[in-house]
């Protein structure tokens, strides 16, 4: 299997304010190019793109290609079931929505310390093995957002899990919170191949600070900035596939250009990535990846990831000199359709589902102080 996977999470939309309004025709072109170049791994989930992702997979992929010509992965998330019966309702709905007949890879989704007891309470690990025994799942595994120590405990308790999906990128490699390196080493120790999510950290590593970009361009002017992030993750020996949430055909063309005949980074190139990480870490105010898990249950419908993205961009500007940026206008445009940052009622729903464990409530207060006047 080629090491680039198509993450059906940040697909192009027609209405930019509606994640479920997916541009199906553009996605079809992206799927066709992806398959034409020999890439076969597609990753979706119940809630991606406003709960539309699995249906898009059916229309753009499953209905248009032989079932044995591609690999499809999807997931069960703790936020959407509350009984043993709910697990099957979701799974059966996923089979219907995708039309896939079976899933090549199925994941218990986003395991962390707060969610693990629920997955254990409802016996999700054995439930997944039962699906595998019936031929409805080919490979059973889980995605993970927590410490390396807890990952070690889970893999000791559940050696039947065949793979682990981890957040790995050069910015989080030595992070004391994300623990990309440490988690990767635990998975490798247990002999579990790794699928990489968030290699570009929700776009953070596609638009790096000017000084960081200069380091990359001085080294190799022909390689795009995000290419360094994808290739960094793909260069790890125990990585099976790197998922890229490509949002348009141009991003896909760029990714394919260096992944179709992939060559791992040299040690010098890896060290360059670590140097760039040092620069970025001094300038990222809110390390949000834009996964949007926080927005689905927000009672005030606040566009949390979009606001954090605007704020991060502004914090890289010389605001004392400029005084104003276009992001003030962008904020007002979003606020006309969504709740404002100041509308937060501090219910905590967002923080309970954030894979990055961000202090969203406090950060929204900072964003509000910046934009709400």
pLDDT in tens, the chain (373 residues): 899 999 999 999 999 889 999 999 999 999 999 999 999 999 999 999 999 999 999 999 999 999 999 999 999 999 999 999 999 999 999 999 999 999 999 999 999 888 899 999 999 999 999 999 999 999 999 999 889 999 999 999 999 999 999 999 999 898 877 899 999 999 999 999 999 999 998 888 998 988 999 999 999 999 999 999 999 999 999 999 999 999 999 999 999 999 999 999 999 999 999 999 988 887 778 989 889 999 988 999 999 999 998 888 788 666 666 567 778 888 988 999 999 999 999 999 999 999 988 999 999 999 999 999 7
CB within 8 Å of 145: residues ≥ 6 apart:
110, 111, 112, 167, 178, 355, 356, 357
Amino acid 314: pLDDT: 81
The reported pLDDT for the residue numbered 317 is 64
3-state helix, strand, coil in the chain (%, to 5): 50, 15, 40
d(CA 66, CA 318): 53
Closest CA to 305 of 200, 203, 230, 197: 203
Residue 203 has a pLDDT of 83
Residue 239 and residue 230: Cα distance in Å, rounded? 12
Neighbours of 112 (CB within 10 A): 17
Q: What is the pLDDT of residue 25?
A: 97
Distance CA 280, CA 283 (A): 5
What pLDDT does residue 318 have? 63
- Beta partners for residue 163, in sequence order: 141
Q: Say if pTM beats, i.e. exceeds, 0.85.
A: no
Q: What is the gyration radius of the CA atoms in the chain, in angstroms?
A: 20
pLDDT at residue number 74: 98
Query: How confident is the model at residue 259, as a pLDDT?
Result: 98
φ, ψ (nearest 5 deg) of residue 106: -130, 135
């Amino acid at each position: 299997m080629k090491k680039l996977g198509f993450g059906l999470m940040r697909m192009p939309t027609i209405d930019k304010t509606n994640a479920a309004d997916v541009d199906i025709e553009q996605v079809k072109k992206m799927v066709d190019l992806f398959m034409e170049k020999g890439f076969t791994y597609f990753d979706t989930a119940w809630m991606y793109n406003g709960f539309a992702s699995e249906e898009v997979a059916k229309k753009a992929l499953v209905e248009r290609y032989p079932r044995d010509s591609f690999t499809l992965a999807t997931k069960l998330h703790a936020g959407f079931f509350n009984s043993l019966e709910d697990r099957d309702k979701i799974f059966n709905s996923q089979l219907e929505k995708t039309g896939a007949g079976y899933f090549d890879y199925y994941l218990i989704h986003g395991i962390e310390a707060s969610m693990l007891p629920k997955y254990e309470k409802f016996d999700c690990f054995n439930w997944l093995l039962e699906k595998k025994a019936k031929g409805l799942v080919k490979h059973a595994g889980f995605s993970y957002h927590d410490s390396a120590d807890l990952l070690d405990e889970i893999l000791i308790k559940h050696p039947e899990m065949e793979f682990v999906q981890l957040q790995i990128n050069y910015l989080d490699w030595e992070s004391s919170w994300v623990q990309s390196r440490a988690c990767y080493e635990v998975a490798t120790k247990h002999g579990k191949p790794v699928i990489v999510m968030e290699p570009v950290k929700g776009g953070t590593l596609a638009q790096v600070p000017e000084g960081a970009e200069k380091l990359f361009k001085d080294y190799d002017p022909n390689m795009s900035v995000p290419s360094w992030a994808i290739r960094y993750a793909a260069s790890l020996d125990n990585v099976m596939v790197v998922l890229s949430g490509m949002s348009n055909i141009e991003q896909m063309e760029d990714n394919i250009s260096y992944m179709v005949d992939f060559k791992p980074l040299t040690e010098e190139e890896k060290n360059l990535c670590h140097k760039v990480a040092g620069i970025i870490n001094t300038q990222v105010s809110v390390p949000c990846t834009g996964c949007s898990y926080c927005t689905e249950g927000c009672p005030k419908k606040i566009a949390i990831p979009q606001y954090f993205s605007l704020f991060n961009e502004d914090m890289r500007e010389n605001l004392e000199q400029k005084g104003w940026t276009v992001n003030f206008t962008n904020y007002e445009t979003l606020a006309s359709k969504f709740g404002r940052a100041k509308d937060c009622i501090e219910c905590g729903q967002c923080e309970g589902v954030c894979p990055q464990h961000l202090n969203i409530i406090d950060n929204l207060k900072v964003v509000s102080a910046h934009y709400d006047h």
